[in-house]
Amino acid sequence: MKCSLMALLENVATSLRKIQLEAGGNMISIQRACFRVWKSIHFSIHYHSSWHSRVVFTLLISPAFLAVFVSASRGLFVASDPGPRGGLSGAGGPLPGLSERELKLFLAGQDAIQEIDSVTGTVPDTGHGLGPRFNMDSCGGCHNFPAPGGSSPPVNPMISVATKNGATNTVPFFITLDGPIRRAFLRSMGGQARGTDLHLFTISGRSDAPGCDLAQPDFDSLAPQLAFHVPLPLYGDGLIESISTDTIVANLASNSTLKRALGIAGRPGGINGSGRFLWKGQGARLELLAAGGYQNEVGVTNALIPREDDPAPSCQFNALPEDTFDSSASNFIEGLPDFAKIAGFVRFSAPPDPIQDTPSITSGRTLFNRIGCALCHTPSLQTGESRSRSLNFRTVGLYSDLALHRMGPGLADGIPEGNAGADDFRTPPLWGLGQRIFFLHDGRTSDLLEAIQAHTSEQGGSEADKVIGAFNTLSEEQKQDILNFLRSL
**In this predicted model, which residue has the larger pLDDT, 367 or 196?**
367
The pLDDT tens digits for 297-310 are 999 999 999 999 99
**For residue 157, which of 173, 139, 177 has the smallest C-alpha distance?**
177
pTM for this predicted structure: 0.84
- Residue 9 pLDDT more than 60? no
The mean pLDDT of 72-101, rounded to a whole number, is 87
The pLDDT of residue 90? 86
Asked if residue 219 lies in contact with residue 135, where contact means CB atoms within 8 angstroms, the answer is no
The pLDDT tens digits for 331-344 are 999 999 999 999 99
**CA dist., res. 203 & res. 37, Å (int):** 71
The pLDDT of residue 459? 85
- Residue 181 pLDDT more than 60? yes
The pLDDT tens digits for 214-233 are 999 999 999 999 999 999 99
Q: Rg of the chain over CA atoms, in angstroms? A: 29
Listed by start position, the domains of the chain span 2-75, 100-235+284-347
83-110 burial, b at 16+ Cβ within 10 Å, e below that, comes to ebbeeebbbbbbbeebeeebbbbbbbbb
Pairing of strands 127-128, 117-118: parallel
The pLDDT tens digits for 233-255 are 999 999 999 999 999 999 999 99
Share of the chain above pLDDT 70, in %: 83
Contacts of 52 (CB under 8 A, 6+ apart): 1, 5
The pLDDT tens digits for 91-148 are 999 999 999 999 999 999 999 999 999 999 999 999 999 999 999 999 999 999 999 9
